[in-house]
Structure formats: C-alpha cells, structure tokens
C-alpha cells in the first residue's frame, strides 16, 4: 500500500519503465528500488517531495515487503518512520533538497581569501580549534553581505605533498551535494593564492571526543543524551550509505568521535569527508580494494589487513564510537577498568563483553541505564565490531536497534 501511494498505481496493475516490458508494482519496486530517487515516484508528485522525506518513506516501505520476515518492521516502527518523513517534508524547504533540483554549481560557493583572512583574523592562533596532519581548523565569523554573520569552521588544508590537495578535492566534490540534518552544513570553499580551504558551519559544542575526553564535560552528557547522539550520527551515516541514490553511495572511511560534532542542542553532525569514497553503486560493487586509510584504533581490521573497503568498514568504526559513549573511555587511551594492566578500549570490550559487562559502564551514567536498554545497546555495539564483516549490521538496522534501546530506556523509568 505504501508503494501504491508513492507510485500512483495499484499493485495489480502493470507499467513499463523505459523500454522494458510492463510489470506489476512490486516487481518494479524490487528491480528499480536502487535506481535514481525519482524512478518510482508518481509523475504528479515530482517536484513536491523533499529528497530526505522520500528516503525515509521509501526505506520503510521496502522493509515492509522484505522476503525475510525478521526484517519487516513493527507497526510502531512504521509509524515513527512515516512521522519522520512527514516532519521532514513539513519543516525543510528550499530548492537544494528537492529531487528535481540540479546540484548547485561550485562557483556559487566560492569565498574570497580576503574574507577568510578577515574571519580568522589572518589565521590568528587564538582562532585555532584543531591541528592535524591534514591541516588546521579555525573558528571564525563569516558574512558575504557584511550583515548577517555566521559562525564557521575553516579548514585550511596542508598542501605539503599530495594528501592535502587530494583531501580537499575529495571533500569538495562530495559535501556540496549533502543535505541532511545530521551532516555538518557546507558553507563554501576557497582556492586562491595556493590556498585550499573548506568552510562549514561551526558546531558550538565542538566534537564528541572533546566531551568524552574531558570529565567535566562528559558529566553533562546523560545516558539519554548519549543515545540521542548515537541515533543522530547513525542517521547521518545511513544517509551517506544509501540516501544519495544508487550511483552515489558514500563510505566515510574516517568515522570517529572526533568527526561527530555537536550543535547547540547536542544534535550529532557528521563532518570531515576528505577520505570518503563514493560510487560503489556505479560500479555495481559492494566493496573496493584500496590502500587502508583512516584513524588508528577506529580502523576496521578487515579493511586494514586486506584493503577491502565496504560500508561495513564504517560500521566497525561506529561500533568503536558506541563503546566510547558507553564506557566514557577513548579508544586510543590505555584504560584500566577494575583489574589487570591498562589496555585499549576494544581489547577490554572483547575481554569483558560476556564476563563482567557492567565494567564497560561509564561510572557517571551507570545508574541511569535501564537493563534491557543496556543489553540491546551492548549487543548492537559488539555486532558492529565483529571481525567477520558479514555479521555487522547495516546502518538502517543500527538505527532501529538504537531506537529500540531508547524505547526500553524510557519504559524503564516510567
């Protein structure tokens, strides 16, 4: 019925797409689901549907007709997804999100170097908020019309060698086309006077690792807020993996708590796409072979050892983040839970997952977590870091399981 609403045809009718022979609705859905976002839409609706609303609606409809009974959602989950699609359709306006709009030309995003220098006070060290091998990040206030200033993060790429330029071109190619509430908004770029700079909106609460690494800030993150952050980050990654259409599936390749930013409402925003890979759908492949890249301690061991990169590589990295959120420990800092010598987080997880799982709790939130919520969350996170990539869930499944955990968390304290 959901696909009847979307396609404008009855299940018993037949219709042809292109030069192919007429087929019934469900056969068309199974054949063309992964094609361009407007392939299955009633022509009378084109131009009306927000692409993010379509993504949410289409995914839940497809899960309803899964040939695997276990994959079909509950009525409660269907209601949530349709409400989500309705809210997105009602709240998000403007051309960039509609399915009929062409990508904006990059030239419209150009920002003069003089404006960048003004925003950062000539790259003043006092404005520096990040420094790494890729380059430096500054906070600044930017305004093209000199009236309405916005807070921005200005990433100035390090052009020594080829990596900086490669990351700049990769990120620029992708981020201008991203339109999702859990992706950090792109503002513009500068390529002038041998400078390569990416400008995005500034997240006032900075990164997730900034909070987890700082005990006073970590104390402010309740378990309910941590679940909300997990859900938002999962939705952002799900958008990269499947929300852009068959020909534009994106693997982030550097998922970590440092690349999950938090806005004024502690909503999660995925950032930093310099290492990202796209186009698996174009090649009709589920994976590619490439030199392993990413951040140590978050990097998928399968990818690191074999060079096989897939969306499940992002899932592994996200699983590490889930355990960081649960434990309050950073993956790259040796930690001592109770007994034994300090070890890295994932080693401790594999040690205590079955025996003494309560040792994985961050003491700050230990009394806030419902038992069923903890069981679901722990099991999900452990599946994400499976050394068998086939056992790792999809981001869509991760979203459902986090929502299940949130539901049980609420019911535990009613």
Catalytic residues: 254
Return the SS3 of 292.
coil
Check residue 100 and report its DSSP letter: T
Burial per residue of 270-285, b for 16 or more beta-carbon CB atoms within 10 angstroms, e otherwise: bbbbbbbbbebbeeee
Contact 179, 325 (CB under 8 A): no
Phi, psi of 195 (to 5 degrees): -100, 140
Q: How far is the C-alpha of 191 from the C-alpha of 199, rounded, in Å? A: 11
Contact 237, 253 (CB under 8 A): no
C-alpha 185/C-alpha 152 separation (Å) is 10
Tokens of 356: 């003494």
Nearest in space to 16 (alpha carbons), one of 4, 24, 8: 24
The DSSP-derived string for 214-250 is SHHHHTT--HHHHHHHHHHHHHHHHIIIIIT-GGG-E
Report which of 328, 47, 68, 127 is spatially closest to residue 212, judged by C-alpha positions.
Answer: 328
Give the containing element (helix H, strand E) for 15: strand 14-15
Q: Kindly give, in sequence order, each residue whose CB lies less than 8 Å from that of residue 14, ignoring residues fewer than 6 positions away.
A: 22, 23, 24
Other CB atoms within 10 Å distance of the CB of residue 300: 27
- The Cα–Cα gap between 414 and 395 comes to 29
Can you list the pairs that 122-129 forms with residues at least 24 positions away whose Cβ atoms lie under 8 Å? 123/156, 129/153, 129/206
């Amino acid at each position: 019925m959901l696909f009847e609403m979307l396609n404008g045809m009855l299940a018993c009718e037949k219709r042809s797409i292109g030069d192919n022979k007429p087929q019934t609705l469900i056969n068309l859905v199974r054949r063309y689901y992964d094609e361009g976002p407007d392939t299955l839409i009633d022509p009378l609706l084109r131009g009306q549907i927000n692409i993010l609303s379509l993504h949410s609606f289409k995914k839940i409809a497809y899960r309803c007709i899964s040939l695997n009974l276990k994959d079909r959602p509950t009525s409660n989950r269907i209601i949530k997804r349709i409400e989500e699609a309705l809210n997105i359709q009602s709240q998000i306006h403007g051309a960039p999100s509609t399915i009929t709009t062409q990508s904006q030309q990059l030239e419209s995003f150009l920002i003069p170097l003089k404006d960048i220098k003004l925003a950062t006070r000539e790259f003043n060290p006092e404005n520096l908020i990040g420094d790494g091998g890729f380059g430096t990040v500054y906070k600044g206030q930017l305004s093209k019309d000199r009236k309405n200033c916005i807070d921005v993060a200005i990433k100035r790429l390090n052009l020594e060698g080829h990596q900086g330029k490669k990351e700049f071109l990769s990120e620029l190619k992708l981020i201008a086309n991203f339109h999702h509430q859990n992706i950090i908004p792109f503002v513009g770029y500068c390529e002038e006077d041998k400078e390569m700079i990416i400008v995005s909106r500034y997240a006032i609460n900075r990164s997730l690792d900034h909070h987890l690494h700082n005990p006073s800030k970590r104390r402010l993150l309740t378990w309910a807020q941590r679940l909300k952050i997990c859900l938002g980050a999962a939705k952002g990654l799900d958008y990269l993996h499947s929300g852009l259409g068959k020909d534009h599936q994106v693997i982030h390749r550097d998922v970590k708590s440092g690349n999950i930013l938090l806005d004024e409402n502690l909503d999660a925003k995925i950032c930093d796409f310099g290492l990202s890979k796209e186009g698996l759908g174009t090649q009709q492949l589920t994976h590619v072979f490439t030199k392993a890249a990413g951040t140590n301690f978050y990097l998928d061991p399968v990818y690191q050892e074999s060079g096989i990169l897939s969306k499940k590589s992002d899932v592994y990295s996200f699983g590490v983040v889930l355990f960081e959120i649960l434990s309050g420990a950073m993956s790259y800092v040796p930690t001592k839970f109770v007994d034994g010598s300090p070890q890295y987080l994932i080693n401790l997880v594999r040690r205590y997952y079955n025996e003494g799982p309560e040792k994985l709790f961050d003491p700050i939130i230990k009394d806030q977590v419902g038992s069923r919520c903890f069981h679901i969350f722990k099991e999900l996170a452990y599946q994400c870091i499976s050394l068998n990539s086939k056992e790792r869930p999809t981001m869509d499944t991760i979203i459902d399981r986090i929502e299940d955990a949130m539901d049980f968390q609420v019911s535990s304290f009613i």
